[in-house]
Amino acid sequence: MMPESNRFYFENAMAQRLSRLAGLDLAARAGSLGASLSGNALMIPFFGRVHRVSADGIMDALGNPPTPAVGSLLLDYVLRVPITPPTADAWITFREFSGAGPLMGYFTGNTNKLIESNFAGAVDVLQRACAGLSGKGIDNAPGFDLCVELAALPRVSIRIRFNDRDEDFPAQCTLLFRKSAETYLSLKSMAVTGTWLAGKLVVPGIR
């Protein structure tokens, strides 16, 4: 769960970012984002769940609003759209992004360690949980018991590399982003993306 202080931050960030959408040409941003357009709204999938994003607000296909963290993330994504989408580049850990240091404790505790503690001895369960979010197995990943790529947003994906525990080592998990993810999301938004994914894998019913 998100600490109450973080919830307050995301509520404020969401409100401020939503106010900035008014007057923006969302249709002009759709192509660069890889999103579709419906009326005056962008239709943006977040791990497969499509959200309608416009100056009037954000809701999913059932009319439910997102959590403040996800709502703030989606607005950050829309506001940061690059003029020209970057080309595919290297996969890196969250730690390798410039300025990630202050967020590392939060990120690691709620992603790598959470997945390790919940799926040690249960690689097959993790594999099924990833498949439930349309994760695709990566075959050319020697040295890992499981490597899966998941589409977080159009043009923003995450890879999970997992090695199960054995008699010598505990389970180990690493999350990777494309270096270009920082073009589309702030570090806080990337952290939310990773922690939401880990929480969803562990507790499938969360939103």
Same-domain pairing of 75 and 110: no
Residue 135: φ, ψ to 5°? -70, 145
Give the total number of structural domains in the chain.
2
Q: What is the pLDDT of residue 175?
A: 98
List b or e across 91-122, with b for residues whose CB sees 16 or more CB atoms inside 10 angstroms: bebbeebeebeebeebbbebbbebbbebbbee
Which of 33, 48, 79 is where one domain is finished? 79
Q: Which of 120, 108, 178 is nearest to 149 (CA)?
A: 178
Same-domain pairing of 98 and 75: no
What digits encode the pLDDT tens for the residues 154-180?
999 999 999 999 989 999 999 999 999
Which of 79, 108, 132 is where one domain is finished? 79
Q: What is the pTM of this model?
A: 0.91
**CB-based contact 107:191 (threshold 8 Å):** yes
Same-domain pairing of 178 and 104: yes
Q: What is the pLDDT of residue 1?
A: 39
Q: What is the pLDDT of residue 2?
A: 43
User: Which range of residues forms the domain containing residue 50?
Assistant: 4-79
Specify if 207 maps to a domain.
Answer: no
Q: One digit per residue, pLDDT tens: the chain, 207 residues? A: 344 447 788 899 999 999 999 889 999 899 889 899 999 899 999 999 999 999 999 999 999 999 999 999 999 999 998 777 777 689 999 999 999 999 999 999 999 999 999 999 999 999 999 999 999 999 877 889 999 999 999 999 999 999 999 989 999 999 999 999 999 999 999 999 999 999 999 988 776
Specify if 84 maps to a domain.
Answer: no
**DSSP letters for 105-149:** HHHHHHTHHHHHHHHTT-HHHHHHHHHTTT-EE-SS-TT-SEEEE
Query: Residue 205 and residue 98: Cα distance in Å, rounded?
Result: 33
**What sign for the dihedral angle of Cα 178, 181, 183, 186?**
negative
DSSP bridge pairs for 36: 43
Query: Residue 184 and residue 140: Cα distance in Å, rounded?
Result: 27
Q: What is the pLDDT of residue 35?
A: 93
**DSSP letters for 35-75:** -EEETTEEEEEETTEEEEEETTEEEETTSPPPPHHHHHHHH
Same-domain pairing of 118 and 160: yes
Q: Which of 70, 12, 76, 6 is nearest to 207 (CA)?
A: 70
